Structure formats: C-alpha cells, structure tokens
Structure 1
Amino acid sequence: CNSNMYASIFLITLMSVHRLLAVVFPHTLYRLITRKVVRRVILGTWMFVMVISIPSLVFRAATAQNKTKVVCAPNHTLSEHVRLQYTTETVAGFIIPYAIIITSYVLILKRLRETRFQRNVRSEKLILAIVIMFGLFWLPYHVINMIQVAAAWYPKDSATRKRLYGMAESTRAVTSTLAFISSCANPVLYTFAGKSYIKNNGFAFMAKLFEGTSLEQTGTKSTQFTAKDDLGKNNIDSENHTLASPLQNRC
C-alpha cells in the first residue's frame, strides 16, 4: 500500500515537472531528456519508493483479534516510531510533492497565458482541476496521519491520546480508500474535462495542448533562419552579378 502511495505521487510529480520543462524549455527537453535518461529516472524513483516504504513493513505485525481472526496491523512499540512513520509519509508523500506539483502548474499556466493558448480557458481549468483533485483525495489521509502523530506526544494514559487514536482508527479505512481512488482519477478527469481535445487530437491531446509553445518558438527561430538565408542568398547573388559584369564586358 505504501509503495503504491509513494509511486503514484512521485510519478505524478515527475509528470508535472516534465510538462513544465516541455512548456518552458522545449528545445532543452528534447536534447537532454532521452529515453535512456527517462528509464534511469523511473528506475531510481522505484528504488527510492521501495526504500522509503520500509518503515510501514517494519512497524507492522500479525495480531490475533480472536481465535479465528488474525490481522496485519500497525505495531509501534514506541511513540517515536509513530512520529517517524506518519511524519515521513506526510512530508515525503504529500507536502513536498504537492508543493512541486503546484509550483510546476503555476509556471505552466503562466507560460500558457503568454502563448497562443492564453484565451483557452478550458486548458487552464483542466490543469487547476488536476492540482485540486490531487489535494482533495490525499489531504484527509495525511490529516489522519498528523492526528496520530499529535496523539503520540501525549502520555499513554491520557484521555486526549485515547480520543485522538480512536478518531484516527475509525476514519483511516475511509481516508485510505479515498486516497487510493486518486490513482484512477486523472484518466477520468482527462476524459470528461478534455473531451474536445480528445475529439480533435485523440488521447495525445496533452501533448497537443503544450505543443503550441514549442511550435511558436520553433516557428520564430525558423523565420529568423529563413530571413538570414534569404539575406545571404541575396548577397551571394549580388556578388555573383558584380563578378560577372566585368567578364561580360570583356567578352
């Protein structure tokens, strides 16, 4: 479960950064980010996911609830273990990735406003919906994490500790389910929010959406090169004409 959580969030974060680079630095992106680089980044991400998921494996144990039922449940022998696991999950699995995602999409929106897509409100709404939906699905889960971390600071016989733990235990299943639903939310969001893009460009509409910047920049450079070529050609023709004139006069 934790591996899936981290992998989903980190891959969405990488996609956000990739889109940012595609919009802001399109030529640098295609030159530096090759298939080999992408494979290494994804492999490194999965290795990091496996390492950072270890605490959830260490702090669990098979516990007998009755004679016939055994469950795999959290087994934190010390309050420090609770604070370590759930703080790591929230900081590394939500706060930092979400900050990167928001920053990336804010810069993307800023760039889109400067391009020919500036009047296309639908694209801006789609990007904002992705960011907002990510937060709505994952925020309740991490709020419960922080409630458990707060409970761990109170003495074991404290009524506040028991109340907070009871609140966390009674709602964790629901918030966990909501968080996992986010794994399939983006495709649904793309389908309903980007119907016109899909209709015109197929499922590559996200590439088409951000293609405008690179096309615009490429077009500008092409125009500059064409102007230079035309100027150079005219100069060459002029020089040839100048050189040819004396020869023709001699003939």
Structure 2
Amino acid sequence: MNSSTVTTTLPSTCTSKNETIVSHPAATSMGALILSAVFLVGFPGNLFVIWSILARARKQSVTTLLILNLAIADGFLMVLTPFFITYLVKMDWTMGNVMCKILFYLCLANMYASIYLIMLMSLYRLVSVVWPNRISVITGKRTVMRVLGVVWLLVIIASIPALIFREVKPKGKGAGSVCDSFHDEDREIIIQYTLEVVFGFLIPYGVIVVSYICILRRIRQTKFRRHIRSEHLILAIVLTFCLFWLPYHIINMVQVSSTLFEKCTTKRTLLDTIWQRSRAVTSTIAFISSCANPVLYFFAGKSYIRREGLAFMARLFERTGFDSTRKSQMNSQNSRDKDKDAEVVLKDKDADSSTNSTSNVKSAKNGK
C-alpha cells in the first residue's frame, strides 16, 4: 500500500515542472487582453509625449530630458507588444530562437532603463531641494548627456542574461514551443532572477526611498512649504512603477525559492505551480507601467489644455524645470533682499548720525 502511494504521488508532484507560462488558457487570455489595452493606450501616448518635448517644448530641463528618455524606452517597448500578444493568443512561440532572445532582452532593458531613469529623477530633485546651490554643477548639457550615456550603457550590459538564458524549447507531446528561461542547473535560476530583483528593484528603489525621505525632511524644515507640481508628478511616476513591477519581482523570488527545495517535493511543486500560473499575468501587468506615464502626464497637465491646446504637455514639462530654477532664484532673491535691507539700515544709521551732527552744530550756534 505504501509503495503504490509513492508511485502514484511522486509523478503527480513532478508534473507541474513540465508546465510553462503559456500552459494555462485563462492566464494567457487575461494577459493578451491586458497587453492589447496597454498597446492601444501606451503606443500613441508615448509618441505624443516624445512629440511634445521635441516639437513643442521651448526649454528642455534636466527633468524633461529624463522624461523624454523614459518615453522613448516605453514607446519602444510598446512596439514589441504585438509580438507578445501573438505569443499569448497562440500559446505557442513561432518566431524562432533569435527573436526569442532579442525580444526578451529588449523587455529586460526597458525595465532597467525605466527604474534607473526614475532614480535619476529622484536624485535630481534631491539635489535641487537639499543642495540648491550645487544644482548648477549638474545641470550642464554635457554633464547630463554623459550621465544618460552611462545609464544606457549599464542597461545594455545588465540585460545580457536574457540573451544567454532565453531560448525556444518544445512544450512536449507536440504541443508547440515556448520561449522561456531554461537552465541546466538551479543555481543559474537563482543568479538570473536574484540579479533582476537586486539591481532592477531593491537598489534603485532604495536610493529613491532615501532621496524622498531627505526631500520631505528638507521641506518640513523650510519656512515656506509650497506644493510643487513636479514633485507630485515624479512621486506619482515612482509609485506607479513600483505598483506594476512589484508582482513581477515577487514571482521571481517565488521561482528562486522553489529552486532551493529538492526536486519533486511538495513545497517545490506548490511554488512551481504559483510562478508558472502567475508569470504570464504579472509580466503583462508590468507592461502597464509603460502606458501609465502618459496618463499621469495628462491628468497633471489638464489645467493647461484650454490655454495651450496640443502643447499642454510641453508646458507641463517646462513647468517641471521651472520649480527648481525658481527655488534658486528665490534663494538668490532672498539674499539680495537681505543685502538691500542691510544697505537700508546702514543708510538709516548714516542719516541718523548726520541728523544728530547737524542738530548738535545748530545747538552750538544757538548757544553762542
């Protein structure tokens, strides 16, 4: 009786390992619907953002350049969505091994580019709020372009694991093919997804959280607590990215955790079932972040629509660069006002002293 139980239970605990992310029609159908909606909103939305900055913006601040690069990355990802919609609808990868590696490499590059551009936005706001006197050092066009070049270079390098580990393999029993991460050893799974979580989420988000803690502390210490439009916009971008990418990284850690257990154990089978049935949905949810930013820009700049028309978004982006410059101008203006006040006080003292001397002379003459 025990032997029969083992023989019937053991194969069933190993069957989930043969499943893939496109083995479940409900998950793939939901993913295809999400991606279709994302494409319809995100593709024209990001194109409009790029056009607004390049054709309509009179001045391009540091924040505007970062938003432009973010829109380019998101817009390029939107171009790739029809390939993934086809993959989910057919539940079969028919585009070959080269396209498998390239498409997922570009997706991973978009993830890294987005989070690190958002991190740069947060760091720039940190410097402009906490150290406004040093903002002129990092706002030079050459400095900004160099920083952006380094970021894109790091993105290209960090996305290489997708080229190494992604490949097309048959699903088995003549059921077609799948483009997925396949590894000869479990440690390769741990390395790949741990790197994504650490360098694609934990480190940049740690920098972002620390930056905004310092910003909020600085704002509380200031005498005039103004509501800054660009501060709210960047914070909304940060929270939106976290909301849509966090499920993806959680599933990554679930898959890493499953590899820590021995094969064909109950715990590993349960974790395998979770990530296999959830990855298609969480991956498509991550795509939403690329179409959410244009929506955020629309609501943030809707007050400009009546006055500016199609240029409303360009005026919004110009405003994001105006806040930091206005702060430095206010600081310099305050110092000028202090200097003027000091000059007025000195003049008053001089006038008082001259008046006193004149009165003393007059009294001396009267005494004579």
TM-score bracket, shorter-length normalisation: 0.7 to 0.9
Q: CA, structure 1 residues 122+61, in 2 after alignment: closer, same or farther (shift >3 Å)? A: closer
Aligned-residue offset at 1:212: 4.3
Aligned-residue offset at 1:188: 1.8
Q: Percent identity?
A: 44
Match of 2:158 among 38, 48, 52: 52
Higher RCO (C-alpha under 8 Å, 6+ residues apart)? 2
Q: CA, structure 1 residues 127+31, in 2 after alignment: closer, same or farther (shift >3 Å)? A: closer
Q: For the residues of structure 1 that align with 2:293 and 2:272, how far apart are their CA atoms?
A: 32
Structure 1 partner of 2:252? 145
Structure 2 partner of 1:185? 292
Q: CA, structure 1 residues 33+45, in 2 after alignment: closer, same or farther (shift >3 Å)? A: same
Structure 1 partner of 2:200? 93
Q: For the residues of structure 2 that align with 1:180 and 1:229, how far apart are their CA atoms?
A: 60
Match of 1:176 among 279, 283, 294: 283
Q: For the residues of structure 1 that align with 2:195 and 2:136, how far apart are their CA atoms?
A: 34
Q: Is 1:133 aligned to 2:240, yes or no?
A: yes
Aligned-residue offset at 1:115: 4.7
Instruction: Write out aligned runs for 1:101-140 (5 A).
Output: 101-115=208-222, 118=225, 120=227, 126=233, 128-140=235-247
8 Å CA contact retained: 1:198, 1:205 = no
Structure 2 residue matching 1:120: 3-state secondary structure: coil
Aligned-residue offset at 1:233: 9.5
Structure 1 partner of 2:4? none
Q: For the residues of structure 1 that align with 2:171 and 2:223, how far apart are their CA atoms?
A: 62
Give the TM-score, by structure 1 length: 0.80
Q: For the residues of structure 1 that align with 2:293 and 2:219, how far apart are their CA atoms?
A: 21
Structure 1 residue matching 2:261: 3-state secondary structure: coil
Work out which of the two has the higher radius of gyration on C-alpha atoms and give 1 or 2.
2
8 Å CA contact retained: 1:115, 1:213 = no
Q: CA, structure 1 residues 221+34, in 2 after alignment: closer, same or farther (shift >3 Å)? A: same
Q: Is 1:43 aligned to 2:43, yes or no?
A: no
Q: For the residues of structure 2 that align with 1:117 and 1:188, how far apart are their CA atoms?
A: 30
Q: Is 1:31 aligned to 2:140, yes or no?
A: no
Q: For each residue in 1:68-119, what CA deviation from the matched residue of structure 2 results, as whole angstroms up to 9, or x when unmatched? A: 8433211111111111111111111111111111222232233334457625
For structure 1, which segment, 11-20 or 31-40, has the greater mean C-alpha deviation from structure 2 after superposition? 31-40
Q: CA, structure 1 residues 152+107, in 2 after alignment: closer, same or farther (shift >3 Å)? A: same
8 Å CA contact retained: 1:191, 1:198 = no
Q: For the residues of structure 2 that align with 1:226 and 1:81, how far apart are their CA atoms?
A: 67
Q: For the residues of structure 2 that align with 1:121 and 1:42, how far apart are their CA atoms?
A: 25
Instruction: Report the aligned-residue RMSD.
Output: 3.3
8 Å CA contact retained: 1:102, 1:131 = no
Q: For the residues of structure 1 that align with 2:146 and 2:228, how far apart are their CA atoms?
A: 36
For structure 1, which segment, 176-185 or 163-172, has the greater mean C-alpha deviation from structure 2 after superposition? 176-185
Structure 1 residue matching 2:126: 3-state secondary structure: helix
8 Å CA contact retained: 1:126, 1:194 = no
How many residues are aligned here?
237
Structure 1 residue matching 2:242: 3-state secondary structure: helix
Letter in structure 1 aligned against 2:132:
P
Q: For each residue in 1:142-184, what CA deviation from the matched residue of structure 2 results, as whole angstroms up to 9, or x when unmatched? A: 1101100100101112122122112111111111111122123
Unaligned 5+ runs, structure 1: 235-251
For structure 1, which segment, 87-96 or 120-129, has the greater mean C-alpha deviation from structure 2 after superposition? 120-129
Structure 1 residue matching 2:184: 3-state secondary structure: coil
For structure 1, which segment, 203-212 or 91-100, has the greater mean C-alpha deviation from structure 2 after superposition? 203-212
Match of 2:180 among 73, 76, 82: 73
Unaligned 5+ runs, structure 2: 1-106, 349-368
8 Å CA contact retained: 1:152, 1:161 = yes
Letter in structure 2 aligned against 1:179:
A
Q: CA, structure 1 residues 128+198, in 2 after alignment: closer, same or farther (shift >3 Å)? A: farther
Match of 1:214 among 328, 334, 349: 328
Q: Is 1:16 aligned to 2:122, yes or no?
A: yes
For structure 1, which segment, 214-223 or 8-17, has the greater mean C-alpha deviation from structure 2 after superposition? 214-223
Letter in structure 2 aligned against 1:104:
S
Aligned-residue offset at 1:205: 2.5
Aligned-residue offset at 1:216: 2.2
